[in-house]
Homo-oligomer: A and B are copies of this chain.
Protein backbone atom coordinates (compact mmCIF):
# COMPACT_ATOMS: atom_id res chain seq x y z
CA UNK A 1 0.00 0.00 0.00
CA UNK A 2 1.35 3.40 -1.03
CA UNK A 3 1.90 5.76 1.87
CA UNK A 4 3.48 8.85 0.35
CA UNK A 5 1.50 11.97 1.21
CA UNK A 6 0.19 12.70 -2.28
CA UNK A 7 -0.97 9.09 -2.71
CA UNK A 8 -2.80 9.27 0.64
CA UNK A 9 -4.51 12.47 -0.52
CA UNK A 10 -5.58 11.03 -3.88
CA UNK A 11 -6.83 7.84 -2.19
CA UNK A 12 -8.82 9.90 0.33
CA UNK A 13 -10.43 11.85 -2.53
CA UNK A 14 -11.34 8.64 -4.40
CA UNK A 15 -14.71 8.32 -2.67
CA UNK A 16 -17.90 10.33 -3.33
CA UNK A 17 -18.96 10.38 0.36
CA UNK A 18 -15.57 11.76 1.43
CA UNK A 19 -15.79 14.41 -1.30
CA UNK A 20 -19.31 15.28 -0.06
CA UNK A 21 -17.91 15.64 3.48
CA UNK A 22 -15.22 17.99 2.10
CA UNK A 23 -17.90 20.02 0.29
CA UNK A 24 -19.89 20.31 3.52
CA UNK A 25 -16.82 21.37 5.53
CA UNK A 26 -15.86 23.93 2.88
CA UNK A 27 -19.36 25.39 3.21
CA UNK A 28 -19.83 25.33 6.96
CA UNK A 29 -16.36 25.40 8.60
CA UNK A 30 -16.17 23.32 11.79
CA UNK A 31 -18.71 20.49 12.01
CA UNK A 32 -19.13 17.63 14.49
CA UNK A 33 -19.42 14.04 13.32
CA UNK A 34 -23.11 13.94 14.34
CA UNK A 35 -23.90 16.99 12.22
CA UNK A 36 -21.85 15.56 9.35
CA UNK A 37 -23.66 12.21 9.48
CA UNK A 38 -27.16 13.73 9.31
CA UNK A 39 -27.53 14.23 5.52
CA UNK A 40 -25.85 10.91 4.63
CA UNK A 41 -27.42 7.43 4.60
CA UNK A 42 -24.59 6.43 6.93
CA UNK A 43 -24.14 5.74 10.63
CA UNK A 44 -22.00 8.02 12.79
CA UNK A 45 -19.52 5.10 12.79
CA UNK A 46 -19.50 5.05 8.98
CA UNK A 47 -18.83 8.79 8.83
CA UNK A 48 -16.12 8.41 11.51
CA UNK A 49 -14.29 5.91 9.29
CA UNK A 50 -14.33 8.36 6.40
CA UNK A 51 -13.11 11.16 8.71
CA UNK A 52 -10.15 8.96 9.76
CA UNK A 53 -9.13 8.53 6.11
CA UNK A 54 -9.43 12.28 5.53
CA UNK A 55 -7.48 13.01 8.73
CA UNK A 56 -4.69 10.56 7.81
CA UNK A 57 -4.32 12.36 4.48
CA UNK A 58 -4.12 15.70 6.31
CA UNK A 59 -7.25 16.93 4.53
CA UNK A 60 -8.98 17.63 7.85
CA UNK A 61 -7.96 18.27 11.42
CA UNK A 62 -10.23 17.48 14.36
CA UNK A 63 -10.73 19.31 17.63
CA UNK A 64 -9.90 17.73 20.98
CA UNK A 65 -13.30 17.91 22.74
CA UNK A 66 -13.76 14.17 23.37
CA UNK A 67 -17.38 13.66 22.29
CA UNK A 68 -17.56 16.26 19.55
CA UNK A 69 -14.14 16.56 17.89
CA UNK A 70 -15.36 18.99 15.22
CA UNK A 71 -13.68 18.56 11.83
CA UNK A 72 -12.12 21.37 9.84
CA UNK A 73 -10.83 21.34 6.28
CA UNK A 74 -7.10 21.95 5.63
CA UNK A 75 -5.85 23.49 2.41
CA UNK A 76 -2.30 22.12 2.16
CA UNK A 77 -3.04 18.67 0.66
CA UNK A 78 -5.39 20.20 -1.91
CA UNK A 79 -2.68 22.70 -2.82
CA UNK A 80 -0.27 19.78 -3.34
CA UNK A 81 -2.81 18.20 -5.73
CA UNK A 82 -3.04 21.54 -7.55
CA UNK A 83 0.77 21.75 -7.79
CA UNK A 84 0.87 18.24 -9.21
CA UNK A 85 -1.89 19.02 -11.74
CA UNK A 86 -0.18 22.22 -12.81
CA UNK A 87 2.65 20.18 -14.39
CA UNK A 88 0.11 18.71 -16.80
CA UNK A 89 -1.76 21.90 -17.59
CA UNK A 90 -0.88 21.60 -21.30
CA UNK A 91 -2.36 18.11 -21.31
CA UNK A 92 -5.64 18.90 -19.59
CA UNK A 93 -6.10 22.21 -21.36
CA UNK A 94 -6.23 20.02 -24.42
CA UNK A 95 -4.34 19.47 -27.62
CA UNK A 96 -7.22 21.10 -29.48
CA UNK A 97 -6.58 24.38 -27.64
CA UNK A 98 -2.93 24.21 -28.65
CA UNK A 99 -3.90 23.45 -32.24
CA UNK A 100 -6.21 26.46 -32.19
CA UNK A 101 -3.44 28.70 -30.88
CA UNK A 102 -1.10 27.38 -33.56
CA UNK A 103 -3.68 28.13 -36.25
CA UNK A 104 -4.21 31.62 -34.82
CA UNK A 105 -0.44 32.17 -34.94
CA UNK A 106 -0.32 31.09 -38.58
CA UNK A 107 -3.34 33.27 -39.44
CA UNK A 108 -1.84 36.22 -37.56
CA UNK A 109 1.39 35.80 -39.50
CA UNK A 110 -0.50 35.46 -42.80
CA UNK A 111 -2.40 38.66 -41.92
CA UNK A 112 0.85 40.55 -41.34
CA UNK A 113 2.32 39.25 -44.61
CA UNK A 114 -0.60 40.56 -46.71
Contacts and interface: CB of A to CB of B under 8 A. Distances in A.
A76 B91 CA distance: 9
A37 interface: no
Interface in A4-35: 4, 6-11, 13-16, 19, 22-23, 26
A71 B82 CA distance: 24
A87 B15 contact: no
- Size bracket of the A interface: 20 to 34
B2 A7 contact: no
Q: How many copies does the complex hold?
A: 2
A64 B23 CA distance: 40
A40 interface: no
B85 A81 contact: yes
Nearest to A17: B2
Contacts of A92: 75-76, 78-79, 81-82
A45 to B, nearest CB: 19
A41 B73 CA distance: 37
Contact of A13 (B10, B19, B26, B78): B10
A15 B10 CA distance: 8
